Structure 1
Amino acid sequence: MARKKSPTLTEAELRLMEVLWQRGEATVAEVVEALPKRLALAYSTVLTTMRILEQKGYVRHTEEGRAYVYHPLIDRNQARRSAVQYVVSRFFNNSPELLMLNILENEAIDADELERLKAMIKNAQEDGSEQL
């Protein structure tokens, strides 16, 4: 049975997207060259993954001569938002509050980070009250 497509990026897809975000565009050969040598990914593996990314709507290609040049359709921040929304809906019953409580209860957050979070929450509250 075929695996269900993930609405977010897999680890392998994310590695390729990082190359595209950094370069702005790249051929499959350029992506292979830009990846860490320890991964030793074959051209065909990268090509298959790029096609999957295109099917998922993360990239598009243009033809330049005989090569396809791949371009990201979403930026890193959009990918982050999508991943967080997916996690919140799947594991936290669509509740950002439950996600934040889980982080606060289970992650080591130093005093400086906590102060930055408090300031961000305060700013978000003030921005929200201005929109009412």
Structure 2
Amino acid sequence: MPRKPSETLTEAELRIMQVVWHKGPGTVQQILDALTDSPSLAYNTVLTTIRILERKGYLEHSKDGRAHIFSPLVEREEASRSEIRHLVGRFFQNSHEDLVLNILEDRGVAPEELKRLRKMLERSDVE
């Protein structure tokens, strides 16, 4: 039985999206050449992953002669927010407060970070 498609980005999908977000549109070969992190991926693996990203709505392609140029449909910030919403729903019963408390309890907070967080909270109260 085939695996259920992931609602979020897999590690391989994220690697490819990071290249497209950073470098801009490109061909499969250009994206492959820009993947510097290990493990290295084969051309066919990158192509398959790009096709999956198209089906998920993260990428689109246009033709340039015989080449396909892949461009992002989803910006990095939007993808990041989507991943956080998924995490909050899955582990914290849709409570952003519980997520933040978990992060703060897990790693502790330096005084400078607390000061910055307070400023951010004060600004969000005003808006």
Q: Using the alignment, how far apart are the partners of 2:35 and 2:26 within structure 1?
A: 12
By how many angstroms is 1:109 displaced? 2.2
Pair 66,8 (structure 1): closer, same or farther in 2 beyond 3 Å: same
Q: Which segments of structure 1 move beyond 3 Å, counting only runs of 4 or more?
A: none
Show structure 2 runs of 5+ residues with no match.
none
Change (3 A) 1:42 1:97: same
Q: Residue type matched to 1:41 in 2?
A: L
- Tell me the distance in 2 between the aligned counterparts of 1:24 and 1:8: 21
The verdict on how the C-alpha distance between 1:110 and 1:8 changes in structure 2, with shifts beyond 3 A counting, is same
Work out the CA distance in 2 between the residues paired with 1:86 and 1:8. Answer: 8
Instruction: State the partner residue of 1:4.
Output: 4
Give the match for residue 89 of structure 2: 89
Q: What is the aligned-residue identity percentage? A: 50
2:55 is matched with 55
Of residues 57-66 and 2-11 in structure 1, the stretch that sits farther from structure 2 once superposed is 2-11
Contiguous gaps of at least 5 residues in structure 1: 128-132
Per the normalisation by structure 1, the TM-score is 0.91
Q: Give 1:24 deviation, angstroms.
A: 1.5
CA distance in structure 2 between the partners assigned to 1:57 and 1:122 by the alignment: 36
**Is the alpha carbon distance of 1:37 and 1:90 closer, same or farther for their aligned partners in structure 2, counting shifts above 3 Å?**
closer
Q: C-alpha separation between the residues in 2 aligned to 1:81 and 1:68?
A: 28
**How far has the Cα of 1:122 moved from its partner?**
1.1
Query: Over aligned residues, Cα RMSD in angstroms?
Result: 1.1
Task: Kindly report which structure 2 residues correspond to 1:32-43, keeping only aligned pairs within 5 A, or say none.
Answer: 32-36=32-36, 38-43=38-43
Report SS of the residue matched to 1:36: coil
| 1:47-90 deviation per Cα after TM superposition (whole angstroms, max 9, x unaligned) | 00000000000000001111110000011101110000000011
When the two structures are superposed, what TM-score results if normalisation uses the length of structure 2? Answer: 0.95
Equivalent residue letter for 1:124? S
Pairing of 1:11-50 with structure 2 (within 5 A) = 11-36=11-36, 38-50=38-50
Distance 1:56 1:67 in 2: 21
Residue 116 of structure 1 aligns with which residue? 116
* TM-fit CA distance, 1:118: 1.1
Q: For residues 72-87 of structure 1, what are the structure 2 equivalents within 5 Å?
A: 72-87=72-87
Q: How far does residue 2 in structure 1 lie from its aligned partner after superposition?
A: 1.8
- Supply the AA of the counterpart residue of 1:80: S
